[in-house]
Amino acid sequence: MIIYPAIDIKGGRCVRLTQGRANAETVYAENPADVAREFRAAGSVWVHVVDLDGAFAGEPQNLAVVQAIAALGMKVQLGGGLRTRAAVERALGFGVARVVIGTRAAESENFVGELVTAFGDKIAVGIDAKNGQVAVKGWVATAGISALALARRMDALGVATLIHTDIGTDGMLTGPNFPAQEAMLNAGKFRVIASGGVSRREDVVKLAELSLRHANLDGVIVGKALYEKRVALGDLLEITGG
């Protein structure tokens, strides 16, 4: 199981939002690349990056920062505002290893299908769920479809990786929504990256145990717990072997 330490970028800085609210922002670093450098030093191969400005604006806004992170030699998984093929191609050209399609995946299956055909495993779909329903456009709107229904549609398109975020637990340090994550694991053949709520090492231990029952649990995104020093990245990497 892979640990994906998270870097959320807003205004060029490393921040965290509570439950995705733009008015609930905490700044943790002025230079996100410095944070990524620390993650790399701890042994992380991957880093999960979200362009929050891009998520709200509808197109990437911080690609120069993303490029600086990719230049460190880490595998960057990028989400936020990737709603056109041109934006996806540009991000991949900047050295991103995997892009995450969120809002557009809920709006257009054809768009996702074309990307999967063109770029294969470099395309992941982000399903952000609030009370089981898909939230889009920086979590400020709902898509009128359940998370599990959208997941099954993405599975039919051949999407290899889904990032399932439970908005209710995101940034709250209350522990993951394990039943919701397990339901997602049972919904298709895709790999699942769990996101939302990790607050202590025991949460990661429990997810690692879940991965023994569900081989498609690819990993977990850890954000605020790292910044608040509730967990140590090196320790989590030892627990999971990745």
Q: What is the DSSP letter of 81?
A: S
pLDDT digits 0-9 by tens, 132-154: 999 887 666 777 899 999 999 99
The catalytic position among 8, 51, 170, 218 is: 8
The catalytic position among 51, 53, 128, 170 is: 128
To the query of whether residue 53 is one of the catalytic residues in this protein, the response is no
What pLDDT shows up at residue 172? 66
CATH numbers and ranges of domains, the chain: 2-240 (3.20.20.70)
Which residue type sits at 45? V
pLDDT digits 0-9 by tens, 84-122: 999 999 999 999 999 999 989 999 999 999 999 999 999
Provide the strand spans (E) within the chain. 2-10, 13-17, 25-29, 46-51, 75-79, 98-101, 123-130, 133-136, 141-146, 161-166, 191-195, 217-222
CB-count burial class (<10 Å; 0-12, 13-18, 19+) for 196? buried
To the query of whether residue 8 is one of the catalytic residues in this protein, the response is yes
- Identify the H or E element spanning 218: strand 217-222
Which residue type sits at 91? A
Which residue type sits at 96? V
